[in-house]
Structure 1
Amino acid sequence: MNIREAREALKLYFGYERFRPMQEQIITNILNKKDVVVLMPTGGGKSICYQVPAVVMPGLCVVISPLIALMKDQVEALLTNGIQAAYINSSQSAEQQYTIENQCLNGELKLLYVSPEKLLSAGFLSFLKRINISLFAVDEAHCISAWGHDFRPEYTQLRALKQQFQTTPVVALTATADRLTQKDIQEQLWLQNPDVFVASFDRPNINLMVKPGKDRFNKITEFLERHYKQPGIIYCLSRKATESLANKLKTQGYNATYYHAGMSAQQRSKAQEAFLRDDVQVVCATVAFGMGIDKSNVRWVIHYNLPKNIEGYYQEIGRAGRDGAQSDALLFYSFADVMNMRNMLSEGDKAQTELQLVKLERMQQFAEAASCRRRILLQYFGETMDKDCGNCDICRNPPTTFDGTLIAQKALSAVARTQEKANIGLLIDVLRGSRSSQVLSAGYDKIKTYGAGRDVSTMDWNRYLHQMLNAGLLELAYDQNYALKLTDQSRQVLFEGKKVQMVKFEEAKQQEETVKPRPKREVIKDALFDKLRSLRKQIADEQNVPPYVVFNDSTLQEMAAEKPTNRITMLAISGVGAQKYERYGDAFINAIISFVTEEQAKGNKVKGATHLLTFEAYQQGLSPEQISIQRNLNPVTIYSHLATLYEQGYAVNLSDFISKAEYNVIKKAIEKLGADSKLKDLFEMLGEQYEYHKIRLALAIYKKQNSI
């Protein structure tokens, strides 16, 4: 089994020319039957990591997922791509499940999605032993850890996979796991010397914004005006809020619905389907919505209230822009939200409550941040960014900073002298010279930095330490009573003269985005994108699948920019594989040609389409000279169009315009100077005996014959 087959499967079934970073290494390990842990952000391409091996390895890949909605979505997408897949869960009848089990026994499927409950139910593992299992993929693997933000006790029983299928590789995948959770995943699943792949958590296409929680509804309607017809999710804290917000938006003319756990399964399914199929633009939801929703064209996510932890926030904003296109994440923040959330969290188990309150505090720090939000977000997951992102509200409107190196050194020295055992509250007591019983009993009143920060208030120390956590100068050890720990960066501040910039505590002024008028060519490109989106919706409705299963937004945007109008150029578009071209290629090509013709008739110049209009005239039997008169262009330009069309695989016969003898002479000059030579250099080498357009045509033939 080699990676070449995997690359071929990637293009054939998924339409991508190359793997994203890490995917190829992960797949190579799986093909070599090794256990693997994959931490990759939502939209980073986790599914490809097991779907491609599943296609090329003999046998059946079993995917364990807690999410019925995700199973359905993934299976629909795989079937559309020409891959045989199915799912078994509680939504099906016994007869339906029996039929799928027979397909597994007969070797008719490549992937089977099951819930953990189904996998561990009586007799199911014994049933799987009758099948050649190529691979187990455990999705949402963070659910196995009590340290994770979405712990599910049933997941801890998945160690049975390694107990009963010792030689079958297991890949554990998650989008959100801090270091403690990563370690827990490996231990709980009994993975054998797994290779751990941690992709960058950076989603640079998502614009991060935080706004004060005043006048939220008007701010939302202004936001929606700027995101006309773009689908998105508004997350609310309570079920009641989802309903009232959706109803208010409807009265303002927006196509909105709501989703929460208090609705019947049928109501939830109806709301979800309407959103997936682009029948509804806005869904107002609790966090019950979205886990596993594989909708790639969500263009924005709004948090009406503060999320309870950074993992949840990161996962929820990650539902936007999964296709890689530009998207927005807007968070509304007020201190009242923090108090509400604290009250809600305080009702649970004591140990879990303490952990969740600390995580809420980190979320609050993010909302109150005065430095690049993306750096803070990535730092939380242990990833360092060298420079500010430029795609968050803080980067666009930076606050005032000052040299805070001395303050940082005092705090870091205190962390070191308390042997990295003090939490934030105790460290502040040490720095401010408190005589509390905790300080005295630990002997911290005897250390050198005791009282070194008396001149700074408790509240300001809190803010400074939060900034240092956000900047990666400190880490918080949840499993060691939330003690503050030094990092490589903090040692640079203490011993290597690294400077620290801190932020003055002033209310940052919110600057509204100014919407610049778009250039005409962009307006035309957007109009073509809208036309292609309408076609996609029509096809999706006919086939009873969500639109993004046909093509995602970034594929349509590339089509709108490149305007492919034949098989070769359409297959060059990222996301157009052989299977999808056979199903939809002609319909989208016809739509592009129709659009270009209509725009030209209106007198609009369409960027990248001029050679297509030359081709249309050529097909009507006009000569290059006649086309140049009709289009009011230089004949040399028309010949250049014909050469380009020939190179792109269009049916153009260049031998009508250049003889074999002429080509052979020019070919020798090309071989001497190289196929990337300028026309002027070739013209001069040929003693100025051959016209420029003949040289251009000869170059096209030479490149095609030599596959350049």
Structure 2
Amino acid sequence: MANPPTDPHTAALLGAMRQYWGYDEFRPLQREAMTSVMEGRDSVVVLPTGGGKSLCYQVPAIAMGGMAVVVSPLISLMKDQVDALRNCGVAADFVNSSLSAEERREVSDRVQSGETKLLYAAPERLLMTGTLKFLQQQNVSFVAIDEAHCISSWGHDFRPEYRGMRVLKDAFPHAAVHAYTATASEAVRDDIAKQLGLSDPSMLVGSFDRPNLAYRVRSAQQRLQQIAAMVERHKGEPGIVYCISRKEVEKTAAALVELGCRAAPYHAGLSPDQRKKNQDDFINDRLEVVVATVAFGMGIDKPNVRFVVHAGMPKSVEHYQQESGRAGRDSLEADCLLLYSRSDAVTWRRMIENPSEGGDADSIAAGLRALEGISRYCAGVTCRHRMLVEHFGQAFENDNCGACDVCLGELDLVDDPVVLSQKILSCVARLDQRYGADYVCKVLCGSTEQRIVQSGHDSLSTHGLLADERAANVRDWVEQLVAQAYLIKAGEYGVLQLTDSGLRLLKGDGDPKLLKAAAKAAPSRRESRSSAESWEGVDRPLFERLRALRSKLAGELSVPAYIVFGDASLRDLARRRPTTLEAFRQAQGVGEKKLSDYGEAFIAEISAHCSETGAASDVEVEAPAPVVATPEKSMPGASSLAAFPFFRDGLSVDEAAEKMGRAVSTVQKYLSDYLKHEQITDPTPWVPRATALRIEEALEACGPGRLRPVFEHLGEEVSYEEIRVVATCVANRQQA
């Protein structure tokens, strides 16, 4: 077993996971989160969407005595989670306004008899005097609060009714309280703990990276065609398209229907019945695509969403992380495409500054800061995974994620970005760093409007320096330099100023990346490495047959298809092709109840397929490994390529830097690109042999991953640059 018991609770937790969910091991941080519950210590747990948050409280609820109370914000989400739990054999109930008086009495009877292990309730229902008084008479083991970021006014989905949750510590003094969310900054986490009155809580924060998601950002040129291309790429698979306005939602949904796609709109302007129907149709696979405003999604617990498209720029990085995170919750590969234009930022700014429900100065300022953050992401030309992870204050160790448009080499970059960047930065400097982006672009493009002439800026050496370029392209390059921290926008009016990196770049020390004006409009069909690995060994015709069987069974039970089995389980069954119950039990996600309920039907379908096609049955395979990002080889920039001949001739970094007239730190990056691109395995031209051997021994002792443990293992006597060179060469040998 991958996770041998090391504490008194682990065996019980693993036993429950295996029996009810068919899982043999913990995902990252699940053990720690579950142990906090078992030990009765309050906690705040932040795990990305698809990271297994729900199991963090569902598994301990089974392993402990009594009943867990789960606070959930939406009726639809409660129903889906309770249906899924019951399908696994777990006694779960919910209480909300959708139940009749008779149904509420039945739930009350099951709770009083001790039959119910998890009881879901909305915050409004839970805080009713009658509900609290009733639950205080029961054996409540702990309280779990889902979507806990709603508690904090610092969060991106603040809900005032959540603030009342503080009374839970007084109402259940002997029960720990646990808060769970997918996105929360340090300030939000601290505020959650404060508002709930938690006592010395465990603060457990998982990685914000979602390596199974392939992120792409494109300039919105022909939005509908770009969206249609993504839908066609995932024909027959579920996806979500987000639009900023209701009008765009209706227009896009109608166009997709005309193209033969089973699509429907979702926004607050529809009647509650229509919204519910469209959401239910999507969950139950009667629809392929939902086109929605941001009102859609929090209540969706659908694990097999294969793509999410943002037809416009979202409101913040936090919103984007949460909305795009609704793809690939089953840890299989999924695509996230963001289409944007500067007009999107104008639309959001207007909505933030003139909120329909009012807003104080602090909330407006916070909204504008968040908008600036997502604008930098859209204009960025560095690894998308890195930008998202670092936004939330975490380090991203991979040089190449292998799962975004930047690292897959899909961006069309200008050939000499240094010179182009220097022209823009020089103009900012000659304008004394006192003007905004629009004005700087007008000067660069040679505008002779009255304000420029009266200020004498038409006589600057940078006036008209980019007269051959479209103003929109120059404006995009400015934003890209801001995103790469060569420029910043300062003050209320967004005045452009040079950073220290920008000043160094003016002297030739830097490696900016700028997109060509005619960037590719549609996502490449090149697949990330994780996509190929997740399908390895899968009998695709059998997979489709099992999908059809799953849909049939789900229809008979009136539950969403994923509640029967997720796509990951079907792929594993289509690898193994089991024809006995014992072999079927070994597949991913097969617990005791699902084995009993569905085993015979699936075995019959698999046996029929093997008989008809001659495919081997009962194949021995290793359990599918979790999806991780595998670095892929991407094309280095023009500046890096210019350095390659020097390295081929055996020049050191210092010598190459002198030849190129660049800073040593910049050329060190060029060497890293050279080693990876040329698959160099011998580090000794750049690292003394004795030092290289020491580093290799340290790498073997510390294992692959972060460089800091290696640095410390070597007594902090060897530079990170030398360690990185040797580590790259060792990795190249292993891939050879």
**TM-score if structure 1 supplies the norm length?**
0.72
Structure 1 residues 8 and 456 mapped into 2: Cα distance closer, same or farther (>3 Å)? farther
**Deviation for aligned residue 1:122:** 2.5
Alignment of 1:559-598 (within 5 A): 559-598=573-612
Paired position in structure 2 for 1:502: 512
**Deviation for aligned residue 1:304:** 1.4
Paired position in structure 1 for 2:406: 394
CA contact (8 A) 1:402 1:502 kept: no
Tell me the amino acid that sits aligned with residue 374 of structure 1.
Answer: H
In structure 2, distance between residues paired with 1:62 and 1:430:
63
State which of 385, 390, 398 in structure 1 corresponds to 2:396. Answer: 385
State which of 465, 485, 489 in structure 2 corresponds to 1:468. Answer: 485
State which of 109, 112, 122 in structure 2 corresponds to 1:105. Answer: 112
**Deviation for aligned residue 1:430:** 13
Q: Answer yes or no: is 1:173 the counterpart of 2:180.
A: yes
Paired position in structure 1 for 2:714: none
Q: Answer yes or no: is 1:91 the counterpart of 2:103.
A: no
Q: Deviations over 1:185-217 (max 9, x none)?
A: 111111111111111111111111122212121
**Deviation for aligned residue 1:243:** 2.3
Q: Deviations over 1:160-193 (max 9, x none)?
A: 1112222211110000111211111111111111
In structure 2, distance between residues paired with 1:246 and 1:548:
24
In structure 1, distance between residues paired with 2:430 and 2:151:
38
State which of 222, 230, 239 in structure 2 corresponds to 1:223. Answer: 230
Q: Deviations over 1:484-542 (max 9, x none)?
A: xxxxxx99x99xxxx863324643732752469x99x9798221111000000000001
CA contact (8 A) 1:401 1:502 kept: no
Q: Secondary structure at the match of 2:381?
A: coil
State which of 132, 137, 140 in structure 2 corresponds to 1:130. Answer: 137
Tell me the amino acid that sits aligned with residue 378 of structure 2.
Answer: A
In structure 2, distance between residues paired with 1:287 and 1:377:
19
Q: For structure 1, which segment, 254-263 or 69-78, has the greater mean C-alpha deviation from structure 2 after superposition?
A: 254-263
Structure 1 residues 324 and 86 mapped into 2: Cα distance closer, same or farther (>3 Å)? same
Tell me the amino acid that sits aligned with residue 532 of structure 1.
Answer: L
**Deviation for aligned residue 1:77:** 0.2
Q: For structure 1, which segment, 97-106 or 393-402, has the greater mean C-alpha deviation from structure 2 after superposition?
A: 393-402
Q: Deviations over 1:387-411 (max 9, x none)?
A: 221111111235469898xx99xx9
Q: Secondary structure at the match of 2:129?
A: coil
Tell me the amino acid that sits aligned with residue 55 of structure 2.
Answer: I
Structure 1 residues 475 and 116 mapped into 2: Cα distance closer, same or farther (>3 Å)? farther
Paired position in structure 2 for 1:376: 387
Q: Deviations over 1:410-448 (max 9, x none)?
A: x9xxxxxxxxxxxxxxxx999946599xxxxxxxxxxxx
Paired position in structure 1 for 2:545: 531
Q: For structure 1, which segment, 457-466 or 587-596, has the greater mean C-alpha deviation from structure 2 after superposition?
A: 457-466
Instruction: Give the aligned length.
Output: 555
Paired position in structure 1 for 2:559: 545
**Deviation for aligned residue 1:465:** 4.3
Identity %: 40
Paired position in structure 1 for 2:613: 599
CA contact (8 A) 2:569 2:589 kept: yes
CA contact (8 A) 2:282 2:289 kept: yes
Structure 1 residues 514 and 89 mapped into 2: Cα distance closer, same or farther (>3 Å)? closer
**Deviation for aligned residue 1:461:** 7.4
Q: Secondary structure at the match of 1:29?
A: helix
Q: Secondary structure at the match of 2:236?
A: coil
Alignment of 1:145-544 (within 5 A): 145-348=152-355, 349=359, 350-386=361-397, 387-396=399-408, 397=410, 399=413, 432=432, 463-468=480-485, 501-504=511-514, 506-507=516-517, 509-510=519-520, 512-514=523-525, 525-544=539-558
**Deviation for aligned residue 1:464:** 3.7
Structure 1 residues 228 and 522 mapped into 2: Cα distance closer, same or farther (>3 Å)? farther
Q: Which runs of 5+ in 1 are unaligned?
A: 412-427, 437-453, 483-489, 601-605, 613-708
CA contact (8 A) 2:240 2:308 kept: yes
Tell me the amino acid that sits aligned with residue 580 of structure 2.
Answer: N
In structure 2, distance between residues paired with 1:571 and 1:324:
21
**Deviation for aligned residue 1:610:** 8.0
Tell me the amino acid that sits aligned with residue 383 of structure 2.
Answer: C
In structure 2, distance between residues paired with 1:31 and 1:474:
48
**Deviation for aligned residue 1:145:** 0.9
Tell me the amino acid that sits aligned with residue 33 of structure 1.
Answer: G
Structure 1 residues 137 and 611 mapped into 2: Cα distance closer, same or farther (>3 Å)? closer
CA contact (8 A) 1:239 1:260 kept: yes
Work out which of the two has the higher radius of gyration on C-alpha atoms and give 1 or 2.
1
CA contact (8 A) 2:47 2:181 kept: yes
**Deviation for aligned residue 1:126:** 1.5
Q: Secondary structure at the match of 1:328?
A: strand
State which of 47, 59, 71 in structure 2 corresponds to 1:52. Answer: 59
Q: Which runs of 5+ in 2 are unaligned?
A: 1-7, 437-459, 464-473, 495-499, 622-736
Q: Secondary structure at the match of 1:21?
A: coil
Q: Deviations over 1:280-338 (max 9, x none)?
A: 11111111111031111111111112111111111111111111111111111111111
In structure 2, distance between residues paired with 1:512 and 1:291:
27
Alignment of 1:635-674 (within 5 A): none
In structure 2, distance between residues paired with 1:295 and 1:91:
21
Structure 1 residues 98 and 402 mapped into 2: Cα distance closer, same or farther (>3 Å)? farther
Q: Secondary structure at the match of 1:468?
A: coil
Paired position in structure 2 for 1:441: none
In structure 2, distance between residues paired with 1:18 and 1:225:
36
Q: Answer yes or no: is 1:67 the counterpart of 2:81.
A: no
Structure 1 residues 433 and 243 mapped into 2: Cα distance closer, same or farther (>3 Å)? closer
Q: Deviations over 1:337-359 (max 9, x none)?
A: 11111111111313211111111
Alignment of 1:619-634 (within 5 A): none
**Deviation for aligned residue 1:371:** 0.7
Structure 1 residues 522 and 23 mapped into 2: Cα distance closer, same or farther (>3 Å)? closer
Tell me the amino acid that sits aligned with residue 539 of structure 1.
Answer: L
**Deviation for aligned residue 1:118:** 0.6
CA contact (8 A) 1:432 1:456 kept: no
Structure 1 residues 455 and 274 mapped into 2: Cα distance closer, same or farther (>3 Å)? farther
CA contact (8 A) 2:579 2:618 kept: no
In structure 2, distance between residues paired with 1:162 and 1:110:
20
**Deviation for aligned residue 1:475:** 14
**Deviation for aligned residue 1:61:** 0.4
In structure 2, distance between residues paired with 1:136 and 1:610:
43
Tell me the amino acid that sits aligned with residue 393 of structure 1.
Answer: D
Could you say what the CA RMSD is over the residues aligned between the two structures, in angstroms?
A: 3.5
Q: Secondary structure at the match of 1:395?
A: coil
Q: Secondary structure at the match of 1:394?
A: coil
In structure 1, distance between residues paired with 2:338 and 2:109:
48
In structure 2, distance between residues paired with 1:33 and 1:430:
62
**Deviation for aligned residue 1:31:** 0.5
In structure 1, distance between residues paired with 2:576 and 2:370:
46
Paired position in structure 2 for 1:443: none
**TM-score if structure 2 supplies the norm length?**
0.70
